[in-house]
Structure 1
Amino acid sequence: MAQQKTPNEGLARLLREAAWSETQLATAVNRVGTEVGRPTKYEQSAVSHWLSGTMPRKEARAAILEALSRRLFRPVTHAEAGFPAPEGNGSPLGTVEGLIDLGRQDMDPSRRSILGAALFSVALTIPDWPDVVGRVEAFAAGEVTRIGMGEVQMVEAMTERVSGLDDEFGGRHARPMAASFLVNTVAGYLKAQAPDNVRKAMMSAAADLCYLTGYMAVDEGLHGLAQRYYLKALELAGAADDHLTYCTTLRGMSVQAVDLGHGQHAMRLADAAAAASPQAGPRMRAFLAGQQAHSAAQLGNAEEALRFMREAERAMDVAESQAKAFGSYDPSSLMYHLAQVRHELGDEAGAVESMQESNRLRHSVYRRAKVRHLGLTAERQLGIGHLEAACLTWGEALDDYPVVQSGRCDERMREMVSLLSRYRKNDQAKTLLERAKAVGVPVAA
């Protein structure tokens, strides 16, 4: 006689708390699966089976927990949902050991698909500044060579060079290089004996590199992996008493969230970054306010969004009156934020105008950003009926696209092909599609 299944009361309770139907949960789980490149087609019947006691597959459990966490704006645990604890759920690794483990996985091509499937989580626990200051374990190990400021400067220089490669050519090849450097060089320095000022400077340099590596993971659409690098950056920045990198990382996490459409999570992260940087300079203040404006606009809060944009503009005016800081937030970035705010608030013509101004102001070395933002500009030009102008903008993006290795740029070019497919009888669109096919952008038959 078959053993009777026990209904999953935990999952049922969460479903009631979420005020979702079984069909709505199935739809949310499918959406999470699509985000990580593993689309599913669950329907109401699957949820009914889960509620009756059928255990979902391991991948489905992760997606269910993430979907419910997003809906409830809090972490939902395996136990709470009536699922068994995940395997290997032991004590967390120390900061350096965890960084080595993460970097080694990222360096290994056979592990990339697994890392890429990691879910972006809105329920991720973000350590507050007081929690990370001094929390990282002591690194001195005795047997490792003593380091000085020369090694710190070398790490900083390497980070700057990798960042330059990312800006010009995209991060697809640069990120594994950064991961290898983290494992084979930086981790050893973090364990070395050093005076306190050198040790903090090295942790700060390592935090910068972790942030950059996470940013490059975002560029490839590896959002769960990016979050893991960002968390390491927060831990190291806190240990180094480095407010700037801590706030920069929170800001980057907010950018990641808003680009994925998680406005409320993005707003929380942007607010946290602003709260953690009471003494931020005007350029950082402009970036933080611009990010708060974008997040507020995505939530439909026009008044707050415009207030934050005015604050960003005032801060940028002050920053531009001081020494220029090439490579940081600049007028081009500010116009991009204004374009995003206008787009979120439904002003598509204004969004196009601001994007064009942003593109005009951008430094030529930022080739990856140029391709991505030109693609986005063209999509919005087409959205307001300007086909010929959109084709000219896309053509400019295609000029640089072949030398850029970037997941987000690939996405913009695929979107171009998809949108132009209905305009094949237009000579400009036809020519553009032929160019796209010639440089390797997939073109539908």
Structure 2
Amino acid sequence: MPRRRVPNKRLPRLLAEAEWSGRSLAQEVNARGHAQGLPLRYDRTSVAHWAAGSRPRSPVPALVAQALTARTGRLVTEAETGLLPAKRSAEQAVTDLVSDSDPVRRLASMSRADTDPRQRQSLRRLVYEPSLTCVPPQHAPGEAPASRDEGPRAVADGALVADGALTDMVTVFWQQMELYGGLHARTALATYLADDGVSALNGVRDEARQRRLLADVALGAHVLGMMSADSNLHGLGQRYYRTAAEIAAHAGAATLEATVLRAMSTQASRLGFHERALALSVRAMEVTRRCDSPMVRAFVLAQRAAAYAGTMQRRAALDDLTSAERALSDSSPASAPQLVSYPLAALRFQEGQALLALGETKAAIRALETSLDHRLPDQRRARVLTRARLAQVRLGAGNLDAGCHDCALFLDEVSHLSSPRAISAISTLQSALRPFHRYRPAHALLSRSRHVQAQATRGTAPPRSVFGAAPSRGR
């Protein structure tokens, strides 16, 4: 006989407390899933099934808890929803490993699981948690977080890895991401960190060398977080970012720690968690006081400006943009390592984002145009994302011809990226184009965008632009 389901009495009580119908909860869960790249399509009957005792797969319980937390104004845990499975599952095992208090051990476990087909899917179902925080070091900065397992590969003073080898390899992965997208070679970096990165710390007795290696490993976790976020694996990306920030703090690498916190703030902004984005950018700014780098200060100030704008604090946002400009003018390209340097193109993009949030559309368009003008040829991913944002803003402002040009140029390049984030921008641009579907170029772009969207995951080349050669702007 089939096992009878036990009705979930907790969920109806929470719905009553939230003054929500099943339809309202389903719509909010779908919206939160969509923001993180999860195509959820629940309705009121789905919620009725949950109340009757069925349990949705991860990450739905986490999304339900987040939705009810936001609605009720108090913390609602996943367990409180009654949606967690009664028995320990693969999802719970993954939850345990990403919650390890030792950040280096956590990185080792996560990166190994990320390369294991049996565990990988549970990792990829992690959702973004706005309440997740970085844990400050429980010892002096630069001291190792915990003694490492000195197994067969342990060699005195980390002789298995030459100085600079980890950073050089991580830089290669970062360059590949900027040229080809975050999905390209993402699991290869996870494998490298699991096999060589964390193992390099085994048996290292020299404290200065240990700090350098910790910083190198933190840099690898940071790039893996970037690649995961670009792959729309926002929950996983957040965990890698958090781990990178904590390892950087242990290493006393303030420049890197501030850079990672800034990336976490950017991710929160993109997902609509503006208060969390502001808190992270404020913390990043506090960390910059420990590093003498005007470029990193500009890096963080520009994101804090965008976060202030997201919370509608206009004066603070404009002040930070001015300060970021001043800090950048005081810096030199050699004042920070390559992976934490901040070119003018990136500053202008963040300026554009802040100005858009403040309703300054014309000024935002100028900032985004300047950002495109300064993107280097090997920054394809950044160029494509900037182009998509500029096209969206121009179309929204009624600049139809310019917006269509940007859409065409975006479509020319996006299929050459393994970037789910960039592919997601196709749907955004389709929504911006639909009001103009009677305009012939817009109609042609809608048709072409559907073709590119269909072909993107299969790696075939897109058709030529309906506008022919690209104009000089945004080379």
Place the TM-score, normalised by the shorter chain, in its bin: 0.7 to 0.9
The CA deviation at 1:324 is: 8.3
CA distance in 2, matches of 1:86, 1:264: 36
Residue 163 of structure 1 and its aligned partner are, at CA, apart by 0.8
Specify the alignment match of 1:115 in structure 2.
123
User: How many residues end up aligned between the 2 structures?
Assistant: 437
- Rounded Cα–Cα distance in structure 2 between residues aligned with 1:48 and 1:300: 40
Take 1:193 and 1:426, find their aligned partners in 2: how far apart are those partners? 66
Aligned partner (choices 351, 367, 389) of residue 376 of structure 1:
389
Match of 1:136 among 138, 145, 154: 145
Of 427-436 and 191-200, the range deviating more from structure 2: 427-436
2:316 pairs with 1:317: no
* Higher mean C-alpha deviation, range 430-439 or range 190-199: 430-439
Mapped to 2, the partners of 1:153 and 1:432 lie a distance apart of 47
CA contact 1:26–1:44 (8 Å) conserved in 2:
no
Give distance in 2, aligned partners of 1:368 and 1:321: 21
With the length of structure 2 as denominator, give the TM-score of the two structures: 0.81
AA aligned to 2:67 is A
CA positional deviation for 1:247: 1.6
| Contact persistence 2:56–2:83 (CA under 8 A) | no
- Equivalent pair of 1:106/1:112 in contact (CA under 8 Å): yes
- Does residue 282 of structure 1 match 2:281? no
Corresponding residue for residue 472 of structure 2: none
Residue correspondence of structure 1 range 301-340 to structure 2 within 5 A: 301-320=313-332, 328-340=341-353
Which of these residues, 171, 187, 193, is aligned with residue 182 of structure 1? Answer: 193
Name the CA shift for 1:14/1:131 in 2 (closer, same or farther; >3 Å). farther
Which residue does the alignment assign to 1:407? Answer: 420
Contact 1:214–1:229 (8 Å) recurs in 2 = yes
Contact 1:26 1:47 survives alignment (8 Å): no
Distance 2:431 2:454 in 1: 11
Tell whether the 8 Å contact from 1:413 to 1:441 is kept in structure 2 after alignment. Answer: no
In structure 2, what residue type is equivalent to 1:33? G
Query: 1:424: how far off?
Result: 4.7
CA RMSD, aligned part only? 3.4
In the TM superposition, what is the alpha-carbon distance from 1:95 to its structure 2 partner? 3.7
1:157-215 Cα shifts (integer Å, max 9, x gaps): 00111111111111212211111101121122122334222122111100000000001
Asked if 1:30 corresponds to 2:30, the answer is: yes
Deviation of 1:126 (Å): 2.1
Number of the residue aligned with 2:208: 197
Query: Which residue identity lines up with residue 262 of structure 2 in the other structure?
Result: R
> In the aligned structure 1, how far is the partner of 2:5 from the partner of 2:337?
69
Q: How does 1:22-421 map to 2 (within 5 A)?
A: 22=21, 24-34=24-34, 35-43=36-44, 46=47, 50=51, 54=53, 56-59=55-58, 60-70=60-70, 76-81=76-81, 87=88, 88=92, 93=100, 94-109=102-117, 111-128=119-136, 133=141, 134=143, 136-139=145-148, 141=150, 143=152, 144-146=154-156, 147-148=158-159, 151-280=162-291, 281-320=293-332, 328-421=341-434
1:78–1:41: structure 2 CA closer, same or farther, 3 Å change rule?
closer
* TM-score of the two chains, using structure 1 as the length reference: 0.86
What is the rounded CA distance, in whole Å, between the counterparts of 2:144 and 2:76 in structure 1?
26
Instruction: Write the mapping of 1:417-432 to structure 2, written as runs, cut at 5 A.
Output: 417-421=430-434, 423-432=436-445
**Distance of aligned partners of 1:55 and 1:363 in 2 relative to their CA distance in 1, 3 Å threshold:** same
Q: Secondary structure at the match of 1:173?
A: coil
Give distance in 2, aligned partners of 1:217 and 1:49.
30
Contact 1:352 1:380 in 2 (8 A): yes
Gaps spanning 5+ residues in structure 2: where? 457-475
Q: Deviations over 1:69-90 (max 9, x none)?
A: 4457775434555666883476
What amino acid maps onto 2:366 in structure 1?
A: E
Give the secondary structure class of the aligned counterpart of 1:300: coil
Give distance in 2, aligned partners of 1:82 and 1:184. 39
Check the 8 A contact 1:221/1:408 in 2, yes or no. yes
Decide whether aligned partners of structure 1 residues 86 and 32 sit closer, same or farther in structure 2, where only a CA change above 3 A counts.
farther
Alpha carbons 1:36, 1:119 under 8 Å: kept: no
- Say which SS state the counterpart of residue 403 (structure 1) adopts: coil
CA drift at 1:5: 6.2
Name the CA distance, whole Å, in 1 between partners of 2:74 and 2:375. 39
Q: 1:290: Cα distance to partner?
A: 1.1
Distance 1:320 1:14, change over 3 A: farther
1:288-340 Cα offsets, whole Å, 9 max, x none, are: 11111111111122122112222212212222598687662122222111111
The one-letter amino acid paired with 1:124 is: L
- Give the partner amino acid of 1:29: V
* CA 1:442–1:282: 2 relative to 1, 3 Å: same
Change (3 A) 1:425 1:178: same
CA distance in 1, matches of 2:305, 2:259: 16
Matched-pair identity in %? 25
Q: In 2, distance between residues paired with 1:150 and 1:57?
A: 45
Are 2:295 and 2:342, in contact at CA under 8 Å, matched by a contact in 1? Answer: yes
- CA distance in structure 1 between the partners assigned to 2:237 and 2:140 by the alignment: 19
Return closer, same or farther for 1:15/1:30 CA change in 2, 3 Å cut-off.
farther
Aligned AA (2:148): F
Indicate conservation of the 8 Å contact 2:136/2:249, yes or no: no
Note the C-alpha offset of 1:391. 1.6
Q: Distance in 2 between matches of 1:424 and 1:285?
A: 44
